[in-house]
Structure 1
Amino acid sequence: MTQRQPLPSVIKFNQLLNALTKMKHFSSCLHLFKQMSLIGVPVDAYSINIAIKCCCSLFRTKDGFALLGCCFRRAVVPDVCTFNTLLDGLVLEDRILEAEILFKKLIKQKLCEPDVVTYNTMIQGLCKFGYNDIATGLLRLMDERGCKPDVVAYNIIVDSLCKDKMIDDAFNLFKEMVFHKLVLPDVITYNSLIHGLL
Structure 2
Amino acid sequence: MMLRTQRWNLLTTLRLVHLRSTETGFSGLSSYRNLSYKEKLRSGLFSIKKDDAVALFQSMILSRPFPTVIDFNRLFSGIARTKQYDLVLALCNQMELNGISHDLYTLSIVINCFCRCRKLGFAFSAMGKIFKLGYEPNTVTFNTLLNGLCLEGRVFEAVELVDCMVLSQHVPDLITLNTLVNGLCLQDGLSEAMSLIDRMVDSVYPLSP
Normalising by the smaller structure, the TM-score range is: 0.7 to 0.9
Structure 1 pair 64–39 and aligned structure 2 pair: CA distance change class (3 A): closer
- When Rg is computed on C-alpha atoms for both structures, the one with the higher figure is 2
Structure 1 pair 69–41 and aligned structure 2 pair: CA distance change class (3 A): same
Instruction: Determine the C-alpha separation between the residues in 2 that align with 1:113 and 1:123.
Output: 17
Determine if contact 1:14/1:46 at 8 Å carries over to the other structure. Answer: no
Match in the other structure for 2:129: 105
Whether 1:79 aligns to 2:103 is yes
Match in the other structure for 2:153: 130
Superimposed CA distance per residue, residues 73-106 of structure 1 (whole angstroms, 9 cap, x where no aligned partner): 1xx4432111110001111111111112221332
Structure 1 pair 184–168 and aligned structure 2 pair: CA distance change class (3 A): farther
Whether 1:120 aligns to 2:143 is yes
Superimposed CA distance per residue, residues 101-144 of structure 1 (whole angstroms, 9 cap, x where no aligned partner): 2213322x144210111100000000111111210111111111
Determine if contact 1:49/1:82 at 8 Å carries over to the other structure. Answer: yes
TM-score (norm 1): 0.74
Q: How does 1:41-190 map to 2 (within 5 A)?
A: 41-54=65-78, 56=80, 57-60=83-86, 61-70=88-97, 73=99, 76-107=100-131, 109-180=132-203, 181-183=205-207
% same residue: 20
Determine if contact 2:41/2:71 at 8 Å carries over to the other structure. Answer: yes
* Paired amino acid for 1:94: R
* Structure 2 gaps, min length 5: 1-34
The alignment of Structure 1 onto Structure 2 pairs a total of residues equal to: 170
Instruction: Determine the C-alpha separation between the residues in 2 that align with 1:37 and 1:104.
Output: 27
Determine if contact 1:20/1:29 at 8 Å carries over to the other structure. Answer: no
